[in-house]
């Protein structure tokens, strides 16, 4: 088959301990074992291979939240990983939970795991304790590494650790520059990058289909899903898409403004750039770039060639930067992540950042796909033909088909970056595949006249806020716990800056307004990103005759400025509710 020959030939892009003879084998229904006879190590590809020629080359340029700047070479990473490996050489560790933002410390923890064939999962540093506990229970770590420098987040992780330790023999370490908490074991990162006489631990040869990491994402199910990624297939796809879509090479300086807990923080901030021997810039807080002076300086001073930013930040930049313009010969590619970028915003981004008005690499993919499925390429011209779309599939062997009934986007061919499973259930995993074995993206789409894909939005009730996908059911399950709440419904509303925000409707057993309590509950459980834009009390939630809440109706009313044309209402149980809901919305939003 052409597809197998193609991927097998391309697999030479990465360094194998044992090169594969096969592209993939189908293990069972919808499970493809990529490069099944190959053996590899991601740490070896990214770090050890670069020691010969790039030992003293800067691998990471790091900016803290306060703007402090530190450089780390490939040799610094090597020394830190080797010393950390020696520190834990007497411990039997299978799973490591890494609690940390984008930073050198988080990077070292990741590569420590990769060197030694240990499964890891990176979680957001600012997750509320309920969210952390849910992930700990699913992942069951032997070791927790945190690098948080904020006491409130350290307290969260420590309290979770104490609860969990009583059930499992787990250890907790703080990886940083100074001891912050006395009852957490401490490793000084400064000591790790010093030469040592400790015995070098050999880098493990990993089977290609072995699990590399688990990354949690949320859907409409009310609980996080642990997406499992393999080693060889995922890593190859990372490097392949970096090369094809961004033109990445050994001379690239890459700024991927992503948190470490996102797939972008793995694929395009670490593994892709370092596998080429290039330099990656890590921002502890991506919000730093909303300072236009900082952004101009960092692009010019560090000669950034690839600038890959979250859509939310691009929208905010457009709203606040005014007449901002930068022309820099170093920029070869600009990209957007998180969700599709609207045409007018893409046009602004392209015009403001590149002299030649290159197309925005408007990336379309998910945690589940491991890397980009479709996007314009860095050298696609003219930009006006691509901006506002997610371009075409990355090659002829990534096939996208639209379901005839709903125009749902589906992938009809296997691809190397695909998830290999879901840690908390086959039920979750099987839901990604239809009866034909096609992978469901759960998005609706269409093709323009140039056959570029336009993503229209989700086909379920998942709300995308600042790149975080959060299910209506998750929000509702927390709100309903509040005393005197009778019913509740969470939907999305379009927002000029952030794309979408959350709106919560509720009915109450009492007349008292409890908006502040709802707001506090949601932000405590999910984080500040989930703070509702509006909280609206209504008399009754609209439902079908079978009792299903009509979220579609509420979304349509919210997003229609004229409060008309709400779609098919034939199934609504009580049509008189519509006028009452409109009245409540007018009072909250307009007044």
- What is the three-state SS of 186-236? EEEHHHHCCCCCCCCCCCCCEECCCEEEEEEEECCCCCEEEEEEECHHHHH
User: What tens digit of pLDDT does each residue of 377-434 get?
Assistant: 999 887 788 888 999 999 999 999 998 877 899 999 999 999 999 998 888 899 999 9
Range of the domain at 100: 2-443
Please report, for residues 21, 449, 452, the alpha-carbon distance to residue 389 in angstroms, rounded to integers and kept in the order given. Answer: 37, 11, 6
Query: Both 311 and 272 in a single domain?
Result: yes
Query: Three-state SS for 368?
Result: helix
Beta partners for residue 82, in sequence order: none
Domain of 318: which CATH number? 3.40.50.12780
Query: Both 434 and 521 in a single domain?
Result: no
Residue linked to tokens 């194998």: 16
- Residue-wise burial string across 309-327, b where 16 or more C-beta atoms lie within 10 A, e elsewhere: bbbbbbbbbbeeeeeeebe
**Domain stop point among 384, 408, 443:** 443
Query: Both 216 and 151 in a single domain?
Result: yes
User: Among 169-178, 284-293, 337-346, 388-397, which is the least confidently predicted range?
Assistant: 337-346
State how far the Cα of 337 lies from the Cα of 467, in Å rounded to an integer.
Answer: 8
CA 94 to chain centre: 24
Query: Three-state SS for 151?
Result: helix
Burial-class residue 280 by CB neighbours within 10 Å (0-12, 13-18, 19+): buried
456 occurs within a structural domain = no
100 occurs within a structural domain = yes
Residue linked to tokens 């997003």: 559
Query: Both 115 and 162 in a single domain?
Result: yes
Domain of 523: which CATH number? 3.30.300.30
Burial-class residue 459 by CB neighbours within 10 Å (0-12, 13-18, 19+): middle
- What is the three-state SS of 532-583? CCEEEECCCCCEECCCCECHHHHHHHHHCCCCCCCCCCCCECCCCHHHHHHH
Query: Both 373 and 433 in a single domain?
Result: yes
Quote the number of domains for the chain. 2
**Domain stop point among 443, 471, 504:** 443
The count of other CB atoms within 10 Å of the CB of residue 440 is 16
Provide CB contacts within 8 A for 289, sequence distance 6+: 257, 283, 295, 298, 309, 313, 317
Query: Both 491 and 396 in a single domain?
Result: no
300 occurs within a structural domain = yes
452 occurs within a structural domain = no
**Domain stop point among 443, 475, 500:** 443
pTM comes to 0.84
User: What tens digit of pLDDT does each residue of 10-50 get?
Assistant: 999 999 999 999 999 998 888 999 999 999 999 999 999 99
352 occurs within a structural domain = yes
Q: Which two tokens stand for residue 532?
A: 């509702």
State how far the Cα of 551 lies from the Cα of 555, in Å rounded to an integer.
Answer: 6
State how far the Cα of 403 lies from the Cα of 443, in Å rounded to an integer.
Answer: 11
250 occurs within a structural domain = yes
Query: Both 438 and 586 in a single domain?
Result: no
Where does 229-342 have alpha helices with state H?
232-246, 263-266, 272-275, 292-301, 311-320
Query: Both 429 and 339 in a single domain?
Result: yes
State how far the Cα of 295 lies from the Cα of 69, in Å rounded to an integer.
Answer: 14
Of 443, 74, 462, residue with least CA distance to 277: 74
% of the chain exceeding 90 in pLDDT: 55
Query: Three-state SS for 18?
Result: strand
Provide CB contacts within 8 A for 222, sequence distance 6+: 471, 473, 474, 477
Query: Both 481 and 524 in a single domain?
Result: yes
Of 485, 483, 525, 482, residue with least CA distance to 502: 525
Query: Both 437 and 341 in a single domain?
Result: yes
541 occurs within a structural domain = yes
453 occurs within a structural domain = no
Rounded (10°) CA dihedral 336, 124, 373, 298: 30
pLDDT at 547 over 60: no
User: What tens digit of pLDDT does each residue of 321-358 get?
Assistant: 877 777 778 899 999 998 778 887 888 888 887 666 77
User: What tens digit of pLDDT does each residue of 461-493 get?
Assistant: 667 787 787 777 778 878 888 888 878 889 988
Query: Both 341 and 370 in a single domain?
Result: yes
pLDDT at 511 over 80: no
State how far the Cα of 536 lies from the Cα of 507, in Å rounded to an integer.
Answer: 9
Query: Three-state SS for 254?
Result: strand
Query: Both 411 and 489 in a single domain?
Result: no
User: What tens digit of pLDDT does each residue of 193-223 get?
Assistant: 988 766 677 999 999 999 999 999 864 344 6
């Amino acid at each position: 088959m052409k597809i197998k020959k193609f991927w097998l030939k391309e697999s030479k892009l990465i360094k194998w301990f044992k090169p594969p003879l096969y592209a993939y084998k189908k293990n069972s229904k919808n499970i493809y074992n990529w490069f099944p006879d190959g053996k590899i190590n991601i740490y070896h590809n990214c770090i050890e291979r670069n020691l010969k020629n790039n030992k003293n080359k800067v691998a990471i340029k790091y900016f803290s939240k306060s703007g402090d700047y530190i450089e780390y070479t490939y040799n610094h990473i090597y020394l830190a990983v080797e010393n950390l490996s020696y520190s834990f050489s007497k411990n039997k560790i299978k799973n490591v939970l890494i609690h940390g933002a984008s930073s050198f410390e988080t990077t070292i923890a990741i590569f420590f795991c990769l060197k030694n064939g240990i499964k890891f999962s990176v979680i957001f540093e600012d997750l509320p304790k309920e969210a952390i506990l849910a992930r700990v229970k699913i992942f069951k770590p032997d070791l927790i590494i945190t690098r948080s420098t904020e006491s409130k987040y350290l307290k969260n992780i420590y309290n979770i650790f104490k609860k969990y330790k009583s059930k499992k023999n787990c250890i907790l370490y703080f990886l940083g520059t100074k001891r912050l908490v006395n009852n957490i074991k401490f490793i000084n990162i400064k000591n790790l990058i010093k030469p040592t006489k400790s015995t070098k631990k050999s880098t493990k040869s990993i089977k290609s289909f072995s699990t590399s990491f688990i990354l949690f994402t949320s859907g409409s199910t009310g609980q996080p899903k642990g997406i499992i990624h393999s080693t060889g297939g995922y890593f190859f796809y990372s490097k392949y898409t970096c090369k094809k879509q961004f033109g990445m090479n050994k001379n690239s300086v890459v700024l991927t403004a992503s948190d470490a807990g996102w797939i972008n923080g793995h694929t395009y901030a670490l593994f892709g750039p370092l596998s080429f021997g290039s330099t990656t810039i890590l921002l502890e807080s991506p919000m730093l770039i909303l300072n236009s002076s900082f952004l101009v300086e960092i692009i010019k001073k560090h000669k950034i060639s690839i600038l890959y930013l979250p859509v939310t930040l691009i929208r905010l930049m457009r709203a606040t930067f005014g007449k901002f313009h930068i022309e820099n010969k170093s920029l070869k590619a600009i990209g957007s992540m998180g969700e599709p970028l609207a045409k007018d915003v893409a046009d602004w981004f392209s015009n403001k950042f590149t002299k030649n008005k290159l197309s925005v690499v408007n990336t379309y993919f998910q945690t589940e796909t491991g890397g980009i499925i479709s996007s314009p390429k860095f050298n696609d011209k003219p930009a006006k033909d691509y901006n506002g779309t997610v371009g075409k599939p990355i090659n002829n062997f990534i096939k996208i088909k639209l379901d005839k009934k709903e125009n749902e986007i589906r992938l009809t061919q296997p691809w190397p970056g695909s998830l290999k499973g879901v840690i908390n259930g086959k039920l979750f995993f099987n839901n990604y595949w239809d009866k034909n074995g096609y992978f469901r993206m759960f998005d609706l789409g269409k093709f323009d006249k140039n056959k570029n894909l336009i993503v229209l939005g989700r086909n379920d009730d998942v709300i995308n806020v600042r790149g975080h996908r959060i299910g209506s059911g998750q929000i509702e399950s927390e709100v309903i716990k509040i005393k005197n709440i009778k019913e509740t419904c969470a939907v999305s509303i379009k927002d000029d800056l952030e794309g979408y925000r959350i709106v919560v409707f509720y009915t109450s057993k009492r007349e008292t307004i409890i908006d502040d309590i709802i707001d506090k509950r949601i932000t405590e459980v999910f984080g500040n990103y989930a703070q509702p834009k509006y909280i609206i009390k209504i008399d009754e939630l609209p439902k079908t005759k079978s009792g299903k809440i009509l979220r579609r109706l509420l979304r349509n009313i919210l997003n229609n400025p004229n409060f008309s044309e709400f779609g098919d209402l034939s199934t609504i149980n009580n049509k008189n509710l519509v006028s009452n809901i409109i009245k409540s919305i007018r009072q909250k939003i307009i007044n």
